[in-house]
Amino acid sequence: MIVDEPAAEAHLAAVLERPRAEVAAALRELSAEYTAQGRGFDLRQVAGGWRFYSRAACAPAVDRFVLDGQQARLTQAALETLAVVAYRQPVSRSRVSAVRGVNCDGVMRTLVQRGLAEEAGSEPETGAILYRTTNYFLERMGLRGLDELPELAPFLPEVDDVEAESLEGTMIAEAVAAAAAQAADGSGEAGRAAPDR
């Protein structure tokens, strides 16, 4: 209860002077016992260690007590940036910006300040700083490791939808180009030269 990050089984075993397997079994047993008894807290394995959490059913009361109505939620931009870092790590800020389509420098600084992302070296070709998620990220998400991130496939658009959007974008670009040519020409002939689709 006093640690500020998940306690590793090996560390607990060393402190208790017991075999790691025995400590691991005891932790799992305690976790199952707390769940069976419906306790207000839960013992979970996250980010390579074990930590106590408020049970989900008690979370609203704990939030009111601890936060007193104040919450520091991540913005949509921060969530999107964090998702790109989580799935593409290690990744540079410019790559994250390219995936999102907007500059993410400020958002990335916020994620680093909050301890959700950290520097992970530099890219050999460009020298750009690479970023990855932290153990604190895993802990806040309730994950044991990155392999527990949900699959992206169910959230991706179908190929036909992407192709339709691409075709629509091409048609819009061609129409804008034709209108611009017509305005520059002043004759009205450019509009008739635009291809039909």
pLDDT digits (tens, 9 = 90+) for 67-121: 665 556 788 888 889 999 999 999 999 999 988 888 888 889 889 988 899 999 9
pLDDT of residue 63: 74
**Rounded mean pLDDT, 150-174:** 59
The residue-averaged pLDDT of 155-172 equals 55
From 11-20, 69-78, 151-160, the region with the lowest mean pLDDT:
151-160
Report DSSP letters for the chain, one per residue.
Answer: ---SSPBPHHHHHHHHTS-HHHHHHHHHHHHHHHHHHT-SEEEEEETTEEEEEE-GGGHHHHHHHHHTT---PPPHHHHHHHHHHHHH-SEEHHHHHHHHTS--HHHHHHHHHTTSEEEEEE-TTT-PEEEEE-HHHHHHHT-SSGGGSPPSGGGSPPHHHHHHHHHHHHHHHHHHHHHHHHHHH-SS-HHHHSPP-
pLDDT value at residue 72? 65
Q: What is the arithmetic mean of pLDDT over 153-173?
A: 56
Rounded to an integer, the average pLDDT of 44-58 is 88
pLDDT reported for residue 194: 41
Confidence at residue 35, expressed as pLDDT on a 0 to 100 scale? 92
For residues 3-7, give the mean pLDDT: 81
**Average pLDDT for the chain:** 80
The confidence score (pLDDT) of residue 100 equals 87
The pLDDT, as a whole number, for residue 37 is 93
Residue % of the chain over a pLDDT of 90: 32
Q: Which residue has the higher pLDDT, 148 or 66?
A: 148
pLDDT for position 130: 94
| pLDDT confidence of residue 187 | 44
Confidence class for position 167, pLDDT limits 50, 70, 90: low
Q: What is the pTM of this model?
A: 0.51
